[in-house]
Chains A and B, each alone.
Chain A
């Protein structure tokens, strides 16, 4: 329990209206069943700094928080005194529309952020899940979340050109700059992408933006075999077609999506979704080439556009959360793109052997597989461990993105951090010597 005077000091910083102090209110702020002692919603960066100064003086642990959409990522926290939500830090500081650059406070939701940028026909080229559920810009950076369009645009590291951070001891510092090209000093923005709140609280971010593409179409095409589907992928990737997103969906996933979306395609086969965004003529020309190439490889499919297309990609981004409302097991495998069929086949074998069901969307051009699993906890643990062993044996990685505590108890969430782990721990120690920020969840 936090001492009364500490609680009072915290309340003095943010104001009573911007805090939750009753246990009954903490439920939606629990992380792996660990409840905080207080939830704070500072309105100003200076308040975040004051909170951290107090936390560091009193050795209070702090869980940085956006909207909590990725609170299941990481190990169970060692302790959780304060949940510090940035959701009131939601102002766009500047939008240099003619420079395609913007600086924003990090508590803004991506949805709101995009809608403001869209007015200038620009956007932040990130399409992560949870956008409908208020995922914040800061949370997306901290979790390094992305979506199918990373094929074309990359991940947050490619667009985050500057940031402001409140450190564990309350200092406010910045890194990077507000121009698209800059090599002055270390590239601190890169360090913070995917740092999961363990190195400081990201309060401001500067991004480079892109113009909104004029037009979009998606070719959805199913193949008699996985080999045929992947053959088409390799042909497409080796061409000069500029593809925005390219996903291989396994039969389980496509059949559940077909039911939801009235897609009217064969739902018992591996399916490719090939999205192209560009000026209209370039989209039409390229989709037509894509169709020819896929159909030559035994594919049969249909072109979707407009609302149906948008809804389809929404579903791809969020499928684990749309398919499973409560208990979810979601993981991400990363391998070479040529190894994707091996991972898909391994998952098929594990499903048959262990009586689990797997739903998979593979970013075919990036070598990333987003996998959601359903089954008995013990079978899922066994399958995840076998999957990791296989993925590691071919030089890849498996990260558990979300799972109930009992699963996390049986599977390492992060796997092997590699030979750089010593340096990572030193960085964590230098930035947070008292291990206050998200203790135990990531690098400790």
Chain B
């Protein structure tokens, strides 16, 4: 199909643009090269593709009209939130358009007594908590990018955050969506009430990386702020000890709200950047946050302290007040941006291992770092075993990037070998599709494709992502083939 599009004349593109302008208005269609550059990639900047146009719809109806037009003309499209994704999930498709949901940014309904908030997809994550905070509530999923990333993007990627050990990730807090299907139909699944009859389509759509349709409205669950919060900080000489402490805490029956580890590289970078008060000579630090009823937090605090001591913690500090707590977290939340200070370039990996294997895997990552001669910084959601090794490299050095990608790939292999996952929260997107086969065999991927074909038989919605190799569907509702014969013969690329 790509080749077909290319052969179409410029006037065809102009006609298509005119149709889009008719639907959204001229100010909602971006077509100049200068402006399109901003949409060439998401936060994974290594891959760039310029879309033919970007549309900025204002409503589900406009999204639907655009998608119907795409369906008619077989134009692929990629939905986009704030573009903070780290897996290239919003990377445009060749000869395709980008549907940016940034204008659909209204909070539609704040229903405190029922603990629900309904938002448009372009609403920024933190706005939800801001809207309910004065009533004593908050929206739990808190990715590090929460001051800019949007709920629509969070839904697509099933975003996590630093507090999901206890409270879960996006999928545990989304109760329903309105979405535009790839044929343009607008449907509602789930909603403010629970237990809708039928399959849990909401559960399927959350984390589907924008491959099943375009979400235009999201119903969220909000929760009560805890009575008490205590944040502990511990420093260690060796990161393996910090890892063992994390496992030790849960084994003792304590599930903190979050547990985060940073290694010495990160500590130094963060200290320079924000001055969070971390000891710069430590091998690693661990943040543990306990929350809940005061009596519970008070009972668990000594258990955590004991485990920290058992695992050779050097310094243990409990934040005295909200201000100290925020400072400790500020360091963690700024870890990625701060890395810019110690390395011109870095690649963020995202893998998951069973918590009990933390110490072991951290050691193996250290070995890999030596083997490749590249520095690897570790900052991660230790409580749920979600690693974020940052491979530091220099893009001006020839071969450095290739080595970096190879090393990052080996880290994923280690994660899978330990019974883990190739991604805990950043998604597969474009970046990791070749690694999906480490976890899933052909039968598993076939089952996933059955889902995709139920939604998007033409394969126009964010094509080329997630699946390791292109898979096709036959006709509406029909069982998909594994591979189209034309493709097998190398005669055509199918979306």
Binding site for B on A (CB under 8 A): 96-101, 121, 144, 154, 157-158, 165, 167, 171-175, 177-188, 190-191, 193-195, 199, 210-212, 234, 237-242, 278-279, 281-282, 284-286, 332, 334-338, 366-368, 395-397, 399, 414-427, 429-431, 433, 443
Q: Does B454 contact A (CB under 8 A)?
A: yes
Given contacts A282-B292, A334-B193, contact A424 B224 (CB under 8 A): no
* Chain A residues with CB below 8 A from B443, complex form: 171-173
Contact check, B194 vs A423: say whether CB atoms are below 8 A apart: no
CB 8 Å contact bits of B304-339 with A (1 = contact, 0 = none): 000000000000000000000000000000000000
In addition to A237-B115, A282-B299, 8 A-B residue pairs with Cβ atoms within 8 Å of each other are A98-B247, A144-B195, A181-B384, A184-B423, A278-B296, A334-B194, A399-B197, A430-B478
* Chain B residues with CB below 8 A from A210, complex form: 255
Contact check, A368 vs B113: say whether CB atoms are below 8 A apart: no
Contact check, A181 vs B425: say whether CB atoms are below 8 A apart: yes
Q: Does B455 contact A (CB under 8 A)?
A: yes
* Chain A residues with CB below 8 A from B426, complex form: 183
Partner of A179, one of B187, B296, B420: B420
Contact check, A183 vs B296: say whether CB atoms are below 8 A apart: no
B288 to chain A, nearest CB (A): 16
Q: Does B373 contact A (CB under 8 A)?
A: no
Interface residue count on the B side (C-beta < 8 Å): 99
The 9 closest A-B pairs by CB, nearest first: A190-B203, A211-B253, A282-B295, A426-B454, A182-B421, A282-B296, A240-B227, A173-B443, A430-B450
Q: Does B448 contact A (CB under 8 A)?
A: yes
User: Which of A190, A211, A234: most chain B CB closer than 10 A?
Assistant: A190
Contact check, B293 vs A241: say whether CB atoms are below 8 A apart: yes
A278 to B300, CA, bound (A): 11
Given contacts A181-B169, A419-B188, A430-B453, contact A285 B293 (CB under 8 A): yes
Contact check, A98 vs B356: say whether CB atoms are below 8 A apart: yes
Contact check, A421 vs B250: say whether CB atoms are below 8 A apart: no
Partner of B300, one of A279, A337, A338, A431: A279
Contact check, B188 vs A179: say whether CB atoms are below 8 A apart: no
Q: Does B369 contact A (CB under 8 A)?
A: no
Contact check, A98 vs B448: say whether CB atoms are below 8 A apart: no
Contact check, B250 vs A414: say whether CB atoms are below 8 A apart: no
Partner of A185, one of B386, B420, B428: B428
Contact check, B204 vs A99: say whether CB atoms are below 8 A apart: no
A419 to B198, CA, bound (A): 11
Contact check, A177 vs B420: say whether CB atoms are below 8 A apart: yes
Given contacts A121-B253, A443-B198, contact A278 B188 (CB under 8 A): no
Q: Which chain B residues in 272-312 approach chain A with CB under 8 Å?
A: 292-296, 298-300
Contact check, B295 vs A281: say whether CB atoms are below 8 A apart: yes
* Chain A residues with CB below 8 A from B83, complex form: none
A226 to chain B, nearest CB (A): 16
Binding site for A on B (CB under 8 A): 111-116, 136, 157-158, 160, 164-165, 168-169, 171-172, 181, 185-189, 191-204, 206-208, 224-227, 247, 250-251, 253-255, 292-296, 298-300, 352-356, 381, 384-386, 419-428, 432, 436, 439-441, 443-448, 450-455, 466, 476-480
- Complex: chain A residue closest to B447, CB-CB: A173
Contact check, A174 vs B444: say whether CB atoms are below 8 A apart: yes
A210 to B208, CA, bound (A): 27
A426 to B456, CA, bound (A): 11
- Complex: chain A residue closest to B421, CB-CB: A182
A87 to chain B, nearest CB (A): 25
B133 to chain A, nearest CB (A): 14
B294 to chain A, nearest CB (A): 7
Partner of A240, one of B136, B157, B202, B445: B136
Given contacts A187-B158, A193-B203, A421-B198, contact A181 B187 (CB under 8 A): no
Contact check, B188 vs A158: say whether CB atoms are below 8 A apart: no
Contact check, A188 vs B300: say whether CB atoms are below 8 A apart: no
Number of A-B contacts defined by CB within 8 Å: 278
Contact check, A157 vs B200: say whether CB atoms are below 8 A apart: yes
Contact check, B428 vs A190: say whether CB atoms are below 8 A apart: no
A429 to B475, CA, bound (A): 12
Contact check, A430 vs B477: say whether CB atoms are below 8 A apart: yes
Contact check, B193 vs A396: say whether CB atoms are below 8 A apart: yes
* Chain B residues with CB below 8 A from A285, complex form: 293-295
Given contacts A98-B250, A179-B354, A210-B255, contact A184 B439 (CB under 8 A): yes
A199 to B479, CA, bound (A): 14
A-B contact pairs, 8 of them (CB 8 A): A99-B354, A185-B436, A191-B199, A241-B227, A334-B194, A367-B194, A420-B189, A426-B477
User: Which of B200, B204, B294, B425: most chain A CB closer than 10 A?
Assistant: B200
Partner of A336, one of B193, B200, B480: B193
A419 to B448, CA, bound (A): 22
* Chain A residues with CB below 8 A from B452, complex form: 186
A434 to B466, CA, bound (A): 29
Partner of A234, one of B113, B445, B450, B479: B113
Contact check, A420 vs B198: say whether CB atoms are below 8 A apart: yes
Given contacts A399-B195, A419-B188, contact A240 B444 (CB under 8 A): no
* Chain A residues with CB below 8 A from B199, complex form: 191, 194-195, 199, 420, 424, 427, 443
A98 to B157, CA, bound (A): 28
Contact check, A190 vs B171: say whether CB atoms are below 8 A apart: yes
* Chain B residues with CB below 8 A from A194, complex form: 199-200
A97 to B440, CA, bound (A): 25
- Complex: chain A residue closest to B113, CB-CB: A338
A284 to B298, CA, bound (A): 14
Partner of A187, one of B165, B207, B425: B207
Partner of A157, one of B203, B298, B299, B385: B203
* Chain B residues with CB below 8 A from A144, complex form: 195, 200
* Chain B residues with CB below 8 A from A282, complex form: 292-296, 299
Given contacts A99-B355, A181-B381, A279-B300, contact A427 B450 (CB under 8 A): yes
A390 to chain B, nearest CB (A): 14
* Chain A residues with CB below 8 A from B424, complex form: 179, 181-183
* Chain B residues with CB below 8 A from A425, complex form: 477
A85 to B203, CA, bound (A): 27
- Complex: chain A residue closest to B165, CB-CB: A180
* Chain B residues with CB below 8 A from A96, complex form: 354, 356
A431 to B449, CA, bound (A): 10
Given contacts A191-B200, A335-B193, A420-B201, contact A186 B423 (CB under 8 A): no
A193 to B198, CA, bound (A): 10
* Chain A residues with CB below 8 A from B202, complex form: 190
B187 to chain A, nearest CB (A): 4
- Complex: chain B residue closest to A427, CB-CB: B454
B88 to chain A, nearest CB (A): 14
Contact check, B200 vs A179: say whether CB atoms are below 8 A apart: no
A367 to B476, CA, bound (A): 37
Contact check, A278 vs B293: say whether CB atoms are below 8 A apart: yes
* Chain A residues with CB below 8 A from B189, complex form: 418-420
A78 to B415, CA, bound (A): 46
A266 to B394, CA, bound (A): 75
- Complex: chain A residue closest to B439, CB-CB: A184
A5 to B186, CA, bound (A): 49
* Chain A residues with CB below 8 A from B207, complex form: 183, 186-187
Given contacts A178-B419, A191-B203, A334-B194, contact A430 B454 (CB under 8 A): yes
- Complex: chain B residue closest to A420, CB-CB: B189
* Chain B residues with CB below 8 A from A181, complex form: 160, 164, 169, 352, 381, 384-386, 421, 424-425
Contact check, A422 vs B185: say whether CB atoms are below 8 A apart: yes
B467 to chain A, nearest CB (A): 9
A282 to B292, CA, bound (A): 9
A163 to B454, CA, bound (A): 21
B217 to chain A, nearest CB (A): 13
A99 to B206, CA, bound (A): 25
* Chain B residues with CB below 8 A from A424, complex form: 198-199, 201
A366 to B115, CA, bound (A): 10
Contact check, B193 vs A193: say whether CB atoms are below 8 A apart: no
Contact check, B193 vs A158: say whether CB atoms are below 8 A apart: no
Given contacts A154-B172, A368-B195, A423-B454, contact A179 B419 (CB under 8 A): yes
